[in-house]
Chain A
Amino acid sequence: MSADSPMIQVKNLWKVFGSNPDKVIGTELASLTRSELRAKTGNTVAVRDVSFDVAPGEVFVVMGLSGSGKSTLVRCMTRLIEPTAGELIFSGEDILKVDGNRLRELRRTKFSMVFQHFGLLPHRKVIDNIAYPLEINGVGKAERHKRAQEVIELVGLNGYSEAYPEQLSGGMQQRVGLARALAADPEIMFLDEPFSALDPLIRRDMQSEVIRLHHELGKTMVFITHDLQEAAKVGDRIAIMRDGALIQVGTPAELVANPKDEYVANFVRDIAKSHVLTLRYIARPLRSDESAATVELDADLIIREALPTVLEAHRPIHVVSGGSSIGVVSAEDVLALIASVN
């Protein structure tokens, strides 16, 4: 498998709750809206014809309002919920076709999950919680404790290995959840609103923690959240869901710059543009009455980070991409963007 072929491919995935879900897909019923269908047949379309790819090492964020189908999507991807239709390919293997044994094997080695409500085992010490995935895979006690200890250090839980979950704060508990998901060294991690139950301050710490772990370990991550700041902070790309369907997928900058519709625009409204947009999005031609500064800036630089240079220059600066200039930015342009109230 080449390095740039996708780690995860989701193709036309559907999940319909209720009786006779197969009667819905591929019929005219499928084109009804969610509430119409529920009124008519009692079925709920939780995931509607979703397709996307995730590259190796990417952090892919799924966002959407409550009830938009995020949890169902991620549970379909781990087959905690059986999808109604579609394909799901991890490194070339169709996950929906594998049998129970192979599925368990994949769950033990290939991917792992972090839950909103942690899902820790209250009757086990931290270390035995973290060692649990190794234990069910038949790893001996000494070895799994050694591995668990490594992960404990990795997530900053030193000194807590003998504690019980109830004795830890929420943030600490989710560190245990993270450590447990890392213990078997999976390639893919699914995180379903991992920090929604935490206080804002702790949440910010944990986001940084995930970013750090991602830098150190380079796992592929599918990260569910309904918090836009969080999505912009941790995500390489963001997918926005509504009523079970994917509305738009793109980098934070793409979403902010070109929201596909009102729903997406509303969603991204609260992002400070200067935090996600790069210079590329505000570069403009040099006017005849201006002369550019001698410094140049890369087109993929986040605007906020370019701010000091731009202000200092007192003149427009060339924005370069692939060696040639695509336009200029001036201090006024940047300040106007920062001051604009969407």
Chain B
Amino acid sequence: MYRKLLERKGYFFLGFIALWYALSKIFFDKATWELGIADNTSFTNVVGDAAGAISGNRTHSPFFVYFFNPIRLFINGFVDIIRNLIATPSNGHAAPTIGWLGVIAILAFITLATSRIRMAILVITFLLGCGALGMWADTMDTLAMTLAAVLLSLAIGIPCGIWAGLSDRVLKLFTPILDLAQILPTMVYLAPLALFFMIGEASATIATMIYSVPISIRITSHAIRSLNFSPVEASISMGATKKQTLSKVQLPMAKQMIVLGVNQTVMAALSFVVIAALIAAPGLGKPVISALTIQNTGRGFVAGLAVVLVAIMLDRATSAAAMKQKAFIPPTESEKRRKRLNVSIAGAVALGATIASHFVTALGNFPDNFDIATPISNATNSFVNFLVNDVSFLTVGFKDIISIRVLNPIEDMLARAPWFMTLTMFVIAALVLAGKRIAFLTFVLLSAIAATGLWFDAMITLTQTIVATLLTMIVGVALGIWVGRSKRADSLLRPFLDAGQTMPAFVYLVPILGLFGPTRFTAIATGIVYSIPVVVKIVGEGIRSVPESMIEAATAAGSNVRQIITKVQLPASKRALMLAANQGMIFVLAVIVIGGFVGSGGLGYIVIMGSSKPELQGKGLVAGFVILLLGVAIDRVAQAASRRA
């Protein structure tokens, strides 16, 4: 029966949405299951009690004594070794074991040894910049946390990735887990981890690893799998054992891509370490959060700037190291000799600086007598004030249009209508878009959400996600078409897209909060900014991969540019568009949830309240779980729909 509907999907959907809207007006504000923020349901109470029981068992339950606690202590110890080395004063010393000068010297030296001198200079400048912003200690904490998480992630990710690269069975086993980890919004697993590993370094590190290990596994296994097969086959044909082929052929050939995976792992870990400040991870996330909480845009901007500096520095340095692996041909003897000389001189200087920074306190703690943070912060604040007060039509006006014309009507439809009506409508939509199986899955997932009692907040979050995704798609597809059609546009936008993808989502919140204040719209705008790069990239890629011959044929038939775009390029890249929408939505959801911090309400806010108020702990955990259900539902429907497209 729905085969017919499928053929007229467009008309059907218009009618369907009109009907939905009408129904939601008729039954406005009935059976919405709206819940006050401080209210618990019986289910959240049960979860809260269970959580209390779990943390009460921390000292004597065997699970804790023999499993969770040792892991926590091990990771804490590992992180502390690194922190004591570069970040925190220890052993009765007034400064960290290696002071600021030493850290700068060592990092510059490593960069010099693995890439080029220009990168080393960039590293020195950016680190000094972080210090001058008054963020030295926090920067070091972030670096220490990132380093710890990256080392542990690689220690797990690279072997597992190699394993999955060599065996199809293992890859099959890993894939669903990796997929899940990728769609899981970051906020979801912070609270449960804190429950088992307490808030602090261990939880933050594990949370970071959950995020970055899959990336490392994925890239490593891809690196092994995408190798040219003929050297591998040749090696086997000569009687090499599996181990010999791996160590002498596959790994050396895959080295560059594996190092590229290190770059991705580092960036993922960094962005997470910043967010992990929510569960008391030390580092630059802390000043960002406190600035967000007191809504001091200037202070947040300073901290965010330090995050940006660290992000660019790590990205450039590690990707430069990866680029250097590219050529299989090593440098000539004389190049090597010169490099060796440079490196040994730099090494000696670094060693001297490190020793000096250990004994001289002035070289240990970053000097605080020249302060550029305050002027930057003040300038930012007055600029934001100017934007908000004097050109308010740009900020307030835009915000109001979106809020009143778009957000409110959709919120009325999804959240302020009876829950069973919304649920039914979603299941029907899934049936038409994605088929029976997915419709059933949608039914199950949405019913589970309803059963938790957090239906209303889930719909608030979903509304914001939908609106942000729509806006993202409008902007992202337009830019994607431009990038896909014009090489110049591509090279113009690419640096921004790349930078945008490496920045932690948190950083975007700060300036947008300044512009739009603590509202739903801030979360939406942040979601848009955060997810546009990935949408533009996917759409651009899709447009670019439309065969030249198709376009030539259309041009020869006399189509104009608009016709080529709408009749050839867009239809031909339908799959890319669907994929972009799917990815965009997942990215947006992750940010909307973080937006709980800045007044977006919904599930994110409950998660945050849950982590600060003991009586709401259960509710926070449940909200996290609902976010997970929502994410899975969105992902499944979008994927099934794109398969049909």
Residues of A within 8 A of B (CB): 78, 80, 103-109, 112-113, 115, 117-123, 132-133, 135-137, 164, 166-167, 180, 184
Of A108, A115, A132, the residue contacting B248 (CB under 8 A) is A132
Q: Are A121 and B238 in contact (CB under 8 A)?
A: no
Residues of B within 8 A of A78 (CB): 237
Residues of B within 8 A of A166 (CB): 328-329
Q: Are B238 and A80 in contact (CB under 8 A)?
A: no
Given contacts A133-B239, A136-B239, A136-B248, contact A121 B329 (CB under 8 A): no
Residue B235 at the chain A interface, CB threshold 8 Å? yes
Given contacts A136-B248, A166-B328, contact A112 B236 (CB under 8 A): no
Alpha-carbon distance between A81 and B249 when the two chains are bound, in angstroms: 20
Q: Mark B221-253, 1 if CB is under 8 A from A, else 0.
A: 000000010110111111111001000110011
Subset of 20 A-B contacts with CB under 8 Å: A105-B239, A106-B239, A107-B237, A108-B238, A108-B239, A109-B239, A112-B237, A117-B228, A118-B230, A121-B252, A121-B253, A122-B231, A122-B328, A123-B328, A133-B238, A136-B238, A136-B239, A136-B248, A164-B329, A180-B238
Of B228, B231, B244, B329, the residue contacting A167 (CB under 8 A) is B329
Alpha-carbon distance between A286 and B236 when the two chains are bound, in angstroms: 60
A74, chain B: closest CB distance, angstroms: 10
Besides A80-B233, A103-B239, A132-B235, 20 new A-B residue pairs in contact (Cβ under 8 A), listed by A number: A104-B240, A106-B239, A107-B236, A107-B237, A107-B238, A107-B239, A112-B238, A113-B237, A115-B230, A119-B230, A120-B231, A121-B249, A121-B253, A135-B248, A136-B235, A136-B238, A136-B248, A137-B239, A164-B328, A164-B329
Most chain B CB within 10 A, of A104, A115, A136, is at A136
Residue ID in chain A nearest B230 by CB atoms: A119
Of A80, A104, A118, A167, the residue contacting B241 (CB under 8 A) is A104
A151, chain B: closest CB distance, angstroms: 14
Residue ID in chain B nearest A183 by CB atoms: B238
Residues of A within 8 A of B249 (CB): 121
Q: Are B239 and A115 in contact (CB under 8 A)?
A: no
Alpha-carbon distance between A160 and B208 when the two chains are bound, in angstroms: 49
B284, chain A: closest CB distance, angstroms: 39
B74, chain A: closest CB distance, angstroms: 36
B21, chain A: closest CB distance, angstroms: 50
Alpha-carbon distance between A136 and B239 when the two chains are bound, in angstroms: 8
Alpha-carbon distance between A193 and B125 when the two chains are bound, in angstroms: 56
The interface size bin for chain B is 20 to 34
A110, chain B: closest CB distance, angstroms: 9
Q: Are B233 and A115 in contact (CB under 8 A)?
A: yes
Q: Are A119 and B239 in contact (CB under 8 A)?
A: no
Of B230, B238, B252, the residue contacting A123 (CB under 8 A) is B252
B399, chain A: closest CB distance, angstroms: 56
Residue ID in chain B nearest A120 by CB atoms: B231
Q: Are A117 and B230 in contact (CB under 8 A)?
A: yes
Shortest beta-carbon contacts, A-B, top 8: A119-B234, A107-B239, A108-B239, A119-B230, A104-B239, A133-B238, A122-B328, A113-B237
**B540-574 residues at the A interface, CB under 8 angstroms:** none
Alpha-carbon distance between A123 and B234 when the two chains are bound, in angstroms: 14
Most chain B CB within 10 A, of A80, A132, A184, is at A132
Residues of A within 8 A of B248 (CB): 121, 132, 135-136
Alpha-carbon distance between A233 and B363 when the two chains are bound, in angstroms: 78
Residues of B within 8 A of A184 (CB): 238
Q: Are B239 and A121 in contact (CB under 8 A)?
A: no
Residues of B within 8 A of A106 (CB): 239
Of A80, A109, A167, the residue contacting B236 (CB under 8 A) is A80
Residues of B within 8 A of A103 (CB): 239
Residues of B within 8 A of A122 (CB): 231, 253, 328
Alpha-carbon distance between A132 and B237 when the two chains are bound, in angstroms: 12
Alpha-carbon distance between A80 and B253 when the two chains are bound, in angstroms: 21
Alpha-carbon distance between A113 and B255 when the two chains are bound, in angstroms: 26
Most chain A CB within 10 A, of B236, B237, B253, is at B237
Q: Are A80 and B239 in contact (CB under 8 A)?
A: no
Q: Are B230 and A136 in contact (CB under 8 A)?
A: no
Alpha-carbon distance between A124 and B620 when the two chains are bound, in angstroms: 56
Alpha-carbon distance between A121 and B229 when the two chains are bound, in angstroms: 11
Residues of A within 8 A of B236 (CB): 80, 107
Residue ID in chain A nearest B236 by CB atoms: A80
Most chain A CB within 10 A, of B231, B239, B241, B328, is at B239
Q: Are B238 and A132 in contact (CB under 8 A)?
A: yes
Q: Are A80 and B237 in contact (CB under 8 A)?
A: yes
Q: Are B233 and A119 in contact (CB under 8 A)?
A: yes
Residue ID in chain A nearest B249 by CB atoms: A121
Q: Are B244 and A136 in contact (CB under 8 A)?
A: yes
A162, chain B: closest CB distance, angstroms: 10
Residues of A within 8 A of B228 (CB): 117
Q: Are B240 and A136 in contact (CB under 8 A)?
A: yes
Q: Are A121 and B237 in contact (CB under 8 A)?
A: no
Residues of B within 8 A of A119 (CB): 230-231, 233-235
Alpha-carbon distance between A342 and B14 when the two chains are bound, in angstroms: 72
**B304-331 residues at the A interface, CB under 8 angstroms:** 328-329
Residues of A within 8 A of B253 (CB): 121-123
Most chain A CB within 10 A, of B241, B249, B252, B253, is at B249
Alpha-carbon distance between A119 and B245 when the two chains are bound, in angstroms: 13
Alpha-carbon distance between A184 and B238 when the two chains are bound, in angstroms: 9
Residue ID in chain B nearest A78 by CB atoms: B237
Given contacts A123-B328, A164-B328, contact A113 B234 (CB under 8 A): yes
Alpha-carbon distance between A123 and B240 when the two chains are bound, in angstroms: 17
Residues of A within 8 A of B244 (CB): 136
B238, chain A: closest CB distance, angstroms: 4
Residue ID in chain A nearest B251 by CB atoms: A123
Residue ID in chain B nearest A106 by CB atoms: B239
Residues of A within 8 A of B237 (CB): 78, 80, 107, 112-113
Residues of A within 8 A of B235 (CB): 119, 121, 132, 136
Q: Mark B139-163, 1 if CB is under 8 A from A, else 0.
A: 0000000000000000000000000
A310, chain B: closest CB distance, angstroms: 48
Alpha-carbon distance between A119 and B229 when the two chains are bound, in angstroms: 8
Residues of B within 8 A of A117 (CB): 228, 230
Residues of A within 8 A of B255 (CB): 123
Residues of A within 8 A of B238 (CB): 107-108, 112-113, 132-133, 136, 180, 184
Alpha-carbon distance between A105 and B241 when the two chains are bound, in angstroms: 10
Alpha-carbon distance between A133 and B234 when the two chains are bound, in angstroms: 10
Residue ID in chain B nearest A114 by CB atoms: B234
Residue ID in chain B nearest A128 by CB atoms: B248
B248, chain A: closest CB distance, angstroms: 7
B310, chain A: closest CB distance, angstroms: 33
**B599-630 residues at the A interface, CB under 8 angstroms:** none
Residues of A within 8 A of B329 (CB): 164, 166-167
Alpha-carbon distance between A322 and B46 when the two chains are bound, in angstroms: 104
Residues of B within 8 A of A133 (CB): 238-239
Alpha-carbon distance between A180 and B236 when the two chains are bound, in angstroms: 13
B133, chain A: closest CB distance, angstroms: 43
**B406-455 residues at the A interface, CB under 8 angstroms:** none
Alpha-carbon distance between A132 and B236 when the two chains are bound, in angstroms: 11
Residue ID in chain A nearest B327 by CB atoms: A166
Alpha-carbon distance between A165 and B157 when the two chains are bound, in angstroms: 31
Residues of B within 8 A of A112 (CB): 237-238
Residue ID in chain B nearest A118 by CB atoms: B230
Residue ID in chain A nearest B329 by CB atoms: A164
Q: Mark B47-89, 1 if CB is under 8 A from A, else 0.
A: 0000000000000000000000000000000000000000000
**B334-349 residues at the A interface, CB under 8 angstroms:** none
**B84-115 residues at the A interface, CB under 8 angstroms:** none
Residue ID in chain B nearest A184 by CB atoms: B238
A169, chain B: closest CB distance, angstroms: 16
A227, chain B: closest CB distance, angstroms: 20
Q: Mark B522-548, 1 if CB is under 8 A from A, else 0.
A: 000000000000000000000000000
Most chain B CB within 10 A, of A80, A123, A164, is at A123
Residues of A within 8 A of B328 (CB): 122-123, 164, 166
Alpha-carbon distance between A105 and B248 when the two chains are bound, in angstroms: 18
